[in-house]
A and B are shown apart, each in its own frame.
Chain A
Amino acid sequence: MKHQNSFVHDTGSLSKLTIHQLADRYANGALTCDGLLHDLSAAIRSRDRDQRQIRAYINFDSIRPIRREVPKASKLWGIPIAVKDNLCVAGEETTCGSKILKGFISPYHATVVEKLLNAGAVIFGRTNQDEFAFGSSCETSCYGPTRNPRDPERVPGGSSGGSAACVADHTAIAALGSDTGGSIRQPASFCGVVGMKPTYGRVSRYGLIAFASSLDQIGPITKDVRDNALFLNVIAGHDPKDSTSADVPVPDYSDFLGRSIQGMRIGIAAPVQTPILENAVKVLKSLGAKVEALSLPHIAYAVSVYYIVAPAEASSNLARFDGVRFGFRDKSAPSLLEMYEHTRGQGFGAEAKRRIILGTYSLSSGYYDAYYLHAMKVRTKIKNDFDAAFKKVDAILSPTAPSPAFKLGEKAASPLEMYLSDIYTIPANLAGVPALSVPGGTDHSTGGKDLPLGLQFIGKPFDEGTLYQLAYAFEQATDYHKRLGNVC
């Protein structure tokens, strides 16, 4: 692709466009890929220099585009995508925000990266995250925190904080995140963008550095619902390299956009009625949806189940970071045991250590039945609650997070308080169902700036289409995504 200098634009203005807007420009010949990348680089550079220190990217000074020659008609042709640091990109350092993986050059592409490249997308930049995706604030990264572009005093949410922040800040067109207990949706809510956690098994996990294998899903973070639907279509589908990837046909999600939601049934289970939720109910009812109260008696236990199951799986998933084959090693350790203990002791940050300890404990001899096995049984009850609910409704509506973005350091002292910020998002991971966060309004209660707040739609397994249908109808009936400056 040659850079056509004849095409003139304002620096940084192209980066404000959405995927579908850019696709239109490509289609009518008004844009070149090099031109777009040039513009995006300029935007990233200017943000890097500004006072706000957003730091969404971990490699802002060394981003190199990775792309494949594919037909121009391909779905994401020429669209730059920022990629969370826990997804393997061949030939690139992939560190999961952790010192222990420093220097690890992946010899292979994650399946999602393969799919993006085959669809014509350009892999452009690696985004910051909580170390090993352990966190809800993007503060536990070994690269330091990412800040919220809506208010740099505040966190962008986590763990996919870098991915949400760069999309909100117009230093990315769209980004890949991963979600184990809310890591796509909560930062989307905090940053005022759209984030989807697909059904477990919808998107291949091959190449996603595992946090909790039975909960992790990769998903798109975008400026609007249409982009999200387009993006998910490219990365969804069966992958023979992932045993837990489902062989279920993927519909064209764009077909769901613009369909009427007249008569659709929406359940509300939130114990608290927030102004955001009340407003959303009003909007959805005005569009013809039926809203009813629901009982999900066991979701009150979701956070507890999650903090048994997720650390247990994590403690085992993180065992491979042992300094033997790749990454960091304490080379001064004289014995094997000391090599292990010091490599891991120095390589992992505090939150990773905390979760490894918690997980090892709940799996250890004498505690397995009381903690892990018991939690897996309560997980069954939570899943059954959803199964029962989806016999009555098409989707469940809730806030994405209990509060707007909090300040940096505000919850760092109390892990438990931090864990509770995922109270609305965790149940969908435990049940494996899809959930989407869209901008639902703003919060004025904190004083000063208007902070975005997300609205979460939870759907039936493999029914992401319905979530897009509802979220698109809501988005079109409101203008939060425009008011936030996501779309120009």
Chain B
Amino acid sequence: MGSLDLRHIARLSRLHLTDAEIKFFETQVAQILSFVDQLKAVDVEGVEPTSHPLSLCNVFREDEIKPSILLEEFLKNAPRAKGPFFEVPKIIESHS
């Protein structure tokens, strides 16, 4: 089913992995993938996928205002905050 480019996957999932980790996971994930390859044997022609075990549909809420959080209290959770903002390393959106 194609080769496993672990560095690409790690980048997609924003995970820093050490070289040792890459090696370690490469082997293990390959093992797991080869195990799940047994699924190829199942004929699913014309079968609808189940993304949900229940046959519920059309669940709504009404357009009613609910109280928002107490920001001051919540901001104590922020690893970095500046005033009422969450703060992250500078994002450079410049163009070339």
- B residues 44-85 with Cβ under 8 Å of A? 44, 47-54, 56, 59, 61, 69-70, 73-74, 76-80
Do A324 and B9 form a contact, CB below 8 Å, given A354-B29, A358-B29, A377-B47?
no
Q: Are B89 and A334 in contact (CB under 8 A)?
A: yes
B16 → A minimal CB distance (Å):
3
> Could you list some 21 contacts between A and B, CB below 8 A?
A103-B77, A201-B56, A244-B52, A244-B54, A301-B42, A304-B39, A324-B78, A326-B77, A336-B88, A341-B11, A341-B16, A345-B15, A348-B15, A353-B17, A357-B29, A358-B32, A366-B2, A377-B50, A378-B39, A415-B28, A430-B50
> A301-B39, A378-B42, A383-B50 are known contacts. Are A244 and B56 too (CB-CB below 8 A)?
yes
Shortest B9–chain A CB gap in Å is 5
Q: 1/0 contact trace for A234-247 toward B, CB 8 Å?
A: 00000010011010
A-contact bits for B1-43, CB 8 A (1 contact / 0 none): 1101010011111111100010001001101110110111010
| Assembled-state Cα–Cα distance A243/B69 (Å) | 21
Instruction: Tell me the complex Cα distance, A360–B11, Å.
Output: 10
Q: Give the interface residue-count category, chain B.
A: 35 or more
**Chain B CB within 10 A, most for which of A323, A326, A344, A377:** A377
A373 cross-chain contacts in B, Cβ below 8 A? 49
Please report the C-alpha to C-alpha distance between residue A385 and residue B79 in the assembled complex, in whole angstroms.
Answer: 48
> B1 CB to closest chain A CB, in angstroms?
5
Q: Is the CB of A353 within 8 A of B25?
A: yes
Does A20 make an interface contact (CB < 8 A)? no
Which of B28, B29, B56, B79 lies at the interface centre, i.e. has the most chain A CB atoms within 10 A of its CB? Answer: B79
Query: How distant is the Cα of A214 from the Cα of B49 in the complex, in angstroms?
Result: 13
CA distance A178 to B86 in the complex (A): 31
A329 near B47 with CB under 8 A, answer no
Question: When the two chains form their complex, are residues A367 and B79 in contact, meaning their CB atoms are under 8 A apart?
Answer: no
Q: Does A376 contact B (CB under 8 A)?
A: yes
CB of A62 to closest CB in B, whole Å: 18
**Whole-angstrom distance from the CB of A101 to the nearest CB of chain B?**
10
Of listed B21, B52, B91, residue having the most chain A CB within 10 A:
B52
List 4 tightest A-B contacts by C-beta distance, closest first.
Answer: A432-B53, A345-B16, A376-B49, A329-B79
Closest beta carbon of chain A to B61's beta carbon, Å: 6
When distances are taken between beta carbons in the complex, the residues of chain A under 8 Å from B21 are 350, 353
User: Do A371 and B32 have beta carbons less than 8 Å apart?
Assistant: no
A301 touching B79, Cβ below 8 Å: no
Q: Are B74 and A371 in contact (CB under 8 A)?
A: no
Residue A340 at the B interface, CB < 8 A?
yes
Given contacts A308-B39, A361-B9, A364-B9, contact A354 B54 (CB under 8 A): no
Q: Is A304's CB under 8 angstroms from B35's CB?
A: yes
Measured between beta carbons, the chain B residues less than 8 angstroms from A377 are 42, 44, 47-50
Cβ contact of A105, chosen from B33, B38, B77, cutoff 8 A = B77
Whether A416 lies near B17 (C-beta < 8 A) is no
Using an 8 Å CB-CB cutoff, how does the interface string of A325-343 with B read, 1 for contact, 0 for none? 1111101011111111110
Say whether A171 faces chain B, with CB atoms less than 8 Å apart: no
Most A CB atoms within 10 A — which of B31, B52, B54? B54
Bound complex: CA A378 to CA B50 (Å): 8
User: Please, how many angstroms separate the alpha-carbon atoms of A415 and B16 in the complex?
Assistant: 21
Q: Are B36 and A308 in contact (CB under 8 A)?
A: yes
A305 CB-CB contact with B under 8 Å: yes
| Contact A107 B69, CB 8 Å, known A304-B38, A353-B25, A378-B42 | yes
Interface string of A190-223 (1 = CB under 8 A from B): 0000000000110000000000001100000000
Q: Residue A246 contacts which of B10, B40, B47, B54 (CB distance < 8 angstroms)?
A: B54
- Of the candidates B2, B13, B28, the one having the most CB atoms from chain A within 10 angstroms of its own CB is B13
Q: Known A326-B77, A339-B89, A358-B32; judge A380-B47 contact (CB<8 A).
A: yes
Question: Nearest-CB distance from A453 to chain B (Å)?
Answer: 26
Q: Which of B31, B42, B90 contacts A381 (CB 8 A)?
A: B42
Give B36's nearest chain A residue, CB to CB.
A304
Flag whether A147 is at the interface (Cβ < 8 A): no
Q: Is A265 an interface residue (CB 8 A)?
A: no
Do the beta carbons of A340 and B77 come within 8 Å of each other? no
Determine if A105 and B39 form an interchain contact, defined as CB atoms under 8 angstroms apart. Answer: no
Residues of B within 8 A of A378 (CB): 39, 42, 44, 47
Question: Given A107-B74, A357-B25, are A379 and B50 neighbors across the interface (CB < 8 Å)?
Answer: yes
A431 at the interface (CB under 8 A from B): yes
Contact A381 B2 (CB under 8 A): no
Residues of A within 8 A of B69 (CB): 107
Select one of A315, A326, A431 contacting B13, CB under 8 A.
A315
Using CB atoms, name the residue of chain B closest to A337. Answer: B14
Q: How far is the CA of A334 from the CA of B10 in the complex (A)?
A: 19
Query: B36 to nearest A CB, angstroms?
Result: 4
